[in-house]
Amino acid sequence: FNNLKNIKYNYKSTTKKIILISLIRYSLFSNNNSKSQYYLNLIDTLKNNKHEERFKKYSFFYQSYLDTINNNYKSAYFNLAQYLSLTETQNIEDNATTFQKLETKYQTVKKEKENLQLKQDNLEIENKRKQNLNLLIASILTFFLGSIIATLVLKNSKRKTKLAEQENELEK
């Protein structure tokens, strides 16, 4: 516990609890129940930060285990019920958080798809607008060229008619 000086103030107790939980587990597996109880009594179950709420359940679990070993079944049952209740609450919270994250991702992907579809629609509309503009310009140019050609043909035809009349007059 002396190496905790470098750990940020809010999380010293969390690190200490993690170490104590590990020592309890090790002592239980080593069949040293008195050491396990000693370490369990050192755990302060008050939460000092958001992470410690998750560790609170382990003190109930290991106390239940020790109570079972010591034939104190009522206390073991109570502690196990507390452990299960906290575990279920945490699982519900985790599921809600996961659901919210997935919902956010889903909505984000949905919006991105909508945006992409709108961009594609806008591109199609823009392309049709350009195509229509080009057709209008081509039609106007064709009309003017046709008008110019028609005018020139008409003038040429009038000239030929005049020439033909002048030739007819000269022949008379």
Helices (H) and strands (E) in the chain, counts: 4, 0
**What is the per-residue pLDDT for 8?**
54
For residue 5, the model assigns a pLDDT of: 53
CA 43 to chain centre: 38
At 53-77, the pLDDT tens digits run: 777 888 899 999 999 999 999 999 9
User: What's the predicted TM-score (pTM) here?
Assistant: 0.58
Q: With cut-offs at 50, 70 and 90, classify the pLDDT of residue 166.
A: confident
* Residue 108 pLDDT greater than 70, yes or no: yes
Residue range 1-28, pLDDT digits in tens: 555 455 555 556 677 788 888 899 899 8
Supply the angle between the helices 12-29 and 33-42 in degrees, to the nearest 10: 170
Residue 21: the pLDDT is 86
Residue 12: its pLDDT value, please? 62
Contact residues for 4 (Cβ-Cβ < 8 A; gap 6+): 12, 15, 16
